[in-house]
Amino acid sequence: MNKKSNKRYQKNKQRIQTTLISLLQEKELSKITVQEICETLDINRSTFYYHYMDIFDLAEQVFKETNRRLLERMKKEFHLIPFSEKSAILFFEYIKENKEIYKASNLMRIEFPFNEGKSQMVEMFTARHHQSLSDDAVMYEIIFFQAGLTFVLRKWLDHDCSDPIVSL
């Protein structure tokens, strides 16, 4: 049986995700079908549905995995001062490397992504202020920061990340 810890299960899951990322470089998410992914990989639709409910579930999982890797990279470079120019450049470089995924994510997003990365943001903001702010004040600062960053990213992605990172 194809269990989640099984190498074949993992390999198929990774191949499906990689194919989606590849197709996103050619067309919008709404134009990609399960049939197209299955034909590209020469797999049955049942294999796809064993891993994902639909294209949007696949895209959401790819986005979550991409964000997880971004957070790992930022933690690895945590010696950089949070919200410094160096950490911002690192962040925007990663977004640019994965722009197709982030473009698709922005088109799918229904709610503001407050809970994504919330604990990491709280940790960084608290460290920045050395706990001089109340919990509520930190939350408002995070919401303000995330809202601004979200709209900067959307505009930058709409321009295909063509504006120089240092201008952001």
- Of 26-30, 54-58, 72-76, 151-155, the one with minimum mean pLDDT is 72-76
| pLDDT tens digits, 16-45 | 999 999 999 889 888 999 999 999 999 999
Work out the average pLDDT over 69-83: 73
123, 82 contact by CB (below 8 A): no
54, 6 contact by CB (below 8 A): no
More confidently predicted of 77 and 113:
77
